[in-house]
Structure 1
Amino acid sequence: MLAVLIGSTGVSYALPPCPGSHNFNTWTNCFGTVTHPNGTSNYFGEWKNGKMHGQGTFTRSNGDTYVGEWKNGKSNGQGTATHADGRIKEGIWKDNKFMSARKKSKPKPKVIAKRQPKKSKPKQTTSRPATPTKIYSAASGTGFAVINSGYVITNNHVIKGCMKVKIHQKGKTIPATVVSRDVLNDLALLKGDFKPSSVFKLSREAASLTDEIFVVGYPFGKKVSSSVKVTKGIVSSLTGVGNNFSNIQIDAALQPGNSGGPIVNEMGNVIGVAVAKLSFKNVLKKFGAIPENTNFGIKTSVVMNLLQGNNVKVKNPNRSKMKKSDLVQVMSDATYYLSCWMTMAQIKKMRSEKVIFSNVVTE
């Protein structure tokens, strides 16, 4: 896909975006996003004659996904289904049914010269204690406080695959509980046993083109420094890739580690959550140009749905422009570095989906 989660890998689509219409029955030879009205499923990929056709990704609200080939609205061809419980089916599909595993080429037979048998010495085995459950700090992201009782918003892909998630606040490390996930919209609600000194207020109004915004977070984790970073820009589009109306486009810089951070306007209200940027490699390959300042955030209206669904009540938004010093204070106090802890087995499994530290650190 042209847009990828910050630091993740993605599928490339060669077709142009589908036209800005909710009537996907007219879409053909394009790529676009359709979410079921009741929120149970989402499809992002190629279309033909109003049906899913070509390469695409189908996601259910329970976390099940299918990535691969489609024909006439059904999974047909090579594809991979990943279930929420970890089961994976990879191979050939026909009319939404798994037919057979991917065929592997047979290795060429090796010619081995005959040797005289040698008397083998008994092997000495040295037992090493296995530590399959030992966990390591393997990845990071950003989160922000929305209420004084310790609720924190971030991206679902920030905490995906983590055995433990920790909130780091002013030198303190606080274990986080995952309260809820919105897999389709890539959001997660965490809860820590602490009382934030400041919280962000959420805008109830839709963002407008050219609104000035700030992105707050921890790009590249703490590799550059341990302090919070801020980039500035504007709202450059009210939709995301493939006319995704749950996203906005911004020109403020995003880097791995910014995921889950707040996008804030001059009144100090959050208007979005940093989530993705254009894929450098895919855009260069498709268009022969280097993408610049094309990044994306999840609209606050989607965040509000997650909070309301979990009975989390937040404060009313600010109605006037904040003083610069007050805005900086909230950014510093209510934005958190999040660390993701995994076993070595999980780290190997997630390397294709997350930015994993080159040097992992144990507890």
Structure 2
Amino acid sequence: MHRTALLCAFLALPATTLAQGSPAPAFTAPAPAATAPTAPAPAAPAEAGNRLQLVNRTGQDATSLQAVRSGRADWGANTLPRPMPTDKSFTLRTRAEAGCRFDIRLTVADGRVAVLRDRDICAEPRVVVEEAALRAAPSRPAAGQPDPKARAASGTGFVVATDRVLTNHHVVDGCDRIFVRTADGRTLPAVPPARVDAGIDLALLAVPGDPGEPLPFRASPEVRRGEGVIAFGFPLAGLLSSDPKLTRGEVNGLNGLGNNPNHYQISAEVQPGNSGGPLLDMQGHIVGVVVSKLHAQNIAKRTGDIPQNVNFAVKGAVAQEFLRRAQITPQTAPSAGAERSVADIGELANRGTVFVRCEK
């Protein structure tokens, strides 16, 4: 097994599933667009891409056609320049780098939609949409309100600047809509796009409406092995109570699984739903972002032994650098003097920690 795949198989801290329902077309807060080249590249010839011909046999005009690479989180723009009558076709050409497998969505005049997933347009460039493929468009609650019928998962985040919340990328990946619940019980929608870095598993959400107090990162000294830490968040939502949970532990190692230099290994217990939550030192300053736990069952299958309480957090320094790339200057403070009580640290963390709901 490839080393990366092996490491991924050993990690597990998924978002907590909240509800099941009919899946809606998903979008995620996209990564920032690549920097434009200094000089325009010559246009590629049309033959460089693949041709897709879509035939409308739904019995009514098609008002919108979207075709995106399979697995893409959002549907992109409407490619129809005008409504397409029934029994007519529309041909478009994809970019060569997009490959062959596409998701296709056709919307017709009465609002119904047909969604065709993972179609191989290289093998089958002509796609016919029949009336039987149409489904009612999913209803949505009022703008800015969660949908109780949506298939949803949850995680944790914390405020790092005015109206900005940091969490894990895997908490919000593939979300159709994202909401946060603040410490004072308000529910606020996140506004796309977000700034994400899948490689280090971090995402920065824009959440207008004052989601809480920014939590300061530790400026100094360097984190040492054996230091006490506190994980704060919302594990096992829907099973445990809705208030945040606090667990105490230590920094066990200064690198993560496979010697990952971006992670600490910690003994503070974490569960699904803790992902994206703050890891604080004993002065109440952020030293990491909870990200994963060792998958005990996978390890047991390979070694015959069940690992005990092996968890990981993205290092605070790595998170700060991510925020600076996103044009956010994180608040920092030195950790010196007497340690605070665990209860006091919990109160400080609660002011800026939020519950994250991902609707898919």
For the aligned pair, the TM-score class normalised by the smaller chain equals 0.5 to 0.7
Partner of 1:299: 315
Partner of 2:167: 154
Partner of 2:189: 175
Partner of 1:53: none
| Structure 1: runs of 5+ lacking an equivalent | 9-59, 64-80, 91-100, 102-125, 343-363
1:323 aligns with 2:340: yes
| SS at structure 2 position matched to 1:235 | strand
Alpha-carbon shift at residue 242 of structure 1 (Å): 1.2
Amino acid at match of 2:257: V
Partner of 1:188: 203
Q: 247, 251, 264: which one pairs with 1:248?
A: 264
Alpha-carbon shift at residue 83 of structure 1 (Å): 6.5
What number of residue pairs does the alignment pair up? Answer: 240
Alpha-carbon shift at residue 297 of structure 1 (Å): 0.6
1:131 aligns with 2:137: yes
Alpha-carbon distance between aligned partners in 1 of 2:163 and 2:299, rounded to the nearest angstrom: 40
| SS at structure 2 position matched to 1:242 | helix
- Match runs of 1:1-363 below 5 Å: 1-2=6-7, 3-7=10-14, 84=72, 130-132=136-138, 134=140, 136-147=150-161, 149-169=162-182, 170-177=184-191, 178-205=193-220, 206-320=222-336, 321=338, 323-324=340-341, 325-342=343-360
Alpha-carbon distance between aligned partners in 2 of 1:88 and 1:210, rounded to the nearest angstrom: 49
Q: Deviations over 1:5-45 (max 9, x none)?
A: 4038xxxxxxxxxxxxxxxxxxxxxxxxxxxxxxxxxxxxx
Check 1:184–1:160 CA distance in 2 against 1; reply closer, same or farther (3 A cut).
same
Check 1:224–1:88 CA distance in 2 against 1; reply closer, same or farther (3 A cut).
farther
Check 1:195–1:7 CA distance in 2 against 1; reply closer, same or farther (3 A cut).
closer
Q: Higher strand fraction: Structure 1 or Structure 2?
A: 1
| SS at structure 1 position matched to 2:333 | coil
Q: Does the 8 A contact of 2:155 with 2:357 survive in 1?
A: yes
Alpha-carbon shift at residue 127 of structure 1 (Å): 12
Amino acid at match of 2:160: V
Q: Deviations over 1:216-236 (max 9, x none)?
A: 000012421011001110000
Alpha-carbon shift at residue 278 of structure 1 (Å): 0.9
Normalized against structure 2, the TM-score is what?
0.60
Alpha-carbon distance between aligned partners in 2 of 1:255 and 1:88, rounded to the nearest angstrom: 38
Alpha-carbon distance between aligned partners in 2 of 1:316 and 1:127, rounded to the nearest angstrom: 55
Q: Does the 8 A contact of 1:249 with 1:294 survive in 2?
A: yes
